[in-house]
Amino acid sequence: MSYQLAQTRGAVFVLWGDPEPADGPQVLKVVQKVAAENGGKVTYVTRVPPGAPSPSPAARKTLNKTLPELTALCSSYHVVLEGEGFLAAFKRGVILSFLQPVWKPRLFYVHATCGDVLRQVTTAELANASALMRTAEAAGLTKGTVSLVAPKVA
CATH number of 13's domain = 3.40.525
Residue 68 lies in a domain: yes
Residue 152: inside a domain, yes or no?
A: no
Whether 129 is in a domain gets the answer yes
Domain span at residue 25 reads: 3-138
CB-based contact 127:41 (threshold 8 Å): no
Q: Which of 97, 25, 13 is nearest to 65 (CA)?
A: 25
Query: With b meaning 16 or more CB within 10 Å and e meaning fewer, what string describes 68-98?
Result: eebbebbbbbbbbbbbeeeeeeeebeeebee
Q: Is 117 a domain residue?
A: yes
In this prediction the pTM is 0.83
Asked if residue 79 lies in contact with residue 49, where contact means CB atoms within 8 angstroms, the answer is no
Looking at residue 16, its pLDDT comes to 86
Per-residue pLDDT of the chain (154 residues; tens, 9 = 90+): 589 999 999 999 999 888 899 999 999 999 999 999 999 999 999 998 877 777 888 988 888 889 889 989 999 999 888 765 544 444 544 555 555 545 565 788 888 888 889 988 999 999 999 999 999 999 999 985 444 333 333 3
Per the structure, how many domains does the chain have?
A: 1
Whether residue 60 lies inside any domain: the answer is: yes
